[in-house]
Structure 1
Amino acid sequence: MGASGWDYLVPFHGSAAETLARLRADVLAAGDYYWPDSRDRPKPLTEDELWADEAVRESMTHSILDIFEVGTGDPAERKAFGRTFEVTDAECERMLGTTRPTADDLARLEPDPLEALDPLLTNRGVGRHLIIHADGEPDQIFFFGCSGD
């Protein structure tokens, strides 16, 4: 199948970790992920059921469900797998011209923000996130990455 790029722009909920947890729950509930042989069997209702499937463990979900936690440090390190890393101030300044991007700044990356931010991705199964501000405060988070076999 190959790897798949994915991105989500969601409301900020107190922290990147809390926002990630809510997004993962929403994606699982919506069934918005790769599920092998989906015509032959229903999608799981829980993450335990999802990750119990050997095909999913091998090919991943091609979604934010492949990202389990917020990481710190270098997203290029081997231990980065399954984590999302905040875009650094230096990366943000280079890509968007600011360290506190707004929705308008993100919109300038259209028609494909994922393509524009692709140079920030290091490996499959590693995500990145960009906190979007409104009136100087965190308002949304843009999660993006690439995962799958």
Structure 2
Amino acid sequence: MNYYRQLHFEDRNENLLYADVSRVRDIHPNYGVNTVPAFLTFQLGEHTNTYKGCNNVDFFKNIIEGNFIKANRPAGDEVQKSVTVYTTPGCSWCTRLKSYLRKNGIYYSEVNVAADQSVAEELVRRTGQQGVPQTDIGGEWIVGFDQKRIDQLLNIK
């Protein structure tokens, strides 16, 4: 939480509040927080977004100051299929896959199968495979880093 204290905004009417989730327990169900750290943003009292994971001070400043790029989707463009990448720590192919998705502007969620044995078992049940990475793209499963298949499913040119 120390990096939250480093945030300072000149001439801004912003409130930055933080909670120690080991002591404040009602945030989780009210805002769907199931991992920490989580950074929640609000506008006019309404919850607008949740950012998950460890990030540096500049990341948070850019969010609060609105210094980020919003892509405009051309008319008629399809909405991106949901993408979930199943990984383990230290997996070089997992890192390569995530880097490839980021490079191509693909939003994805990541699930660390090493952290939860039941998730690993469910993955084997669905695909018949134990290795990672495994990727669910709109209900289609890819085992390994199959760039050609990823490109096809996500219309990456």
User: TM bucket by the smaller chain?
Assistant: under 0.3
Greater RCO, 1 or 2 (C-alpha within 8 Å, sep 6+): 1
TM-score, normalised via structure 2 length:
0.27
Structure (1 or 2) with the larger CA radius of gyration: 2
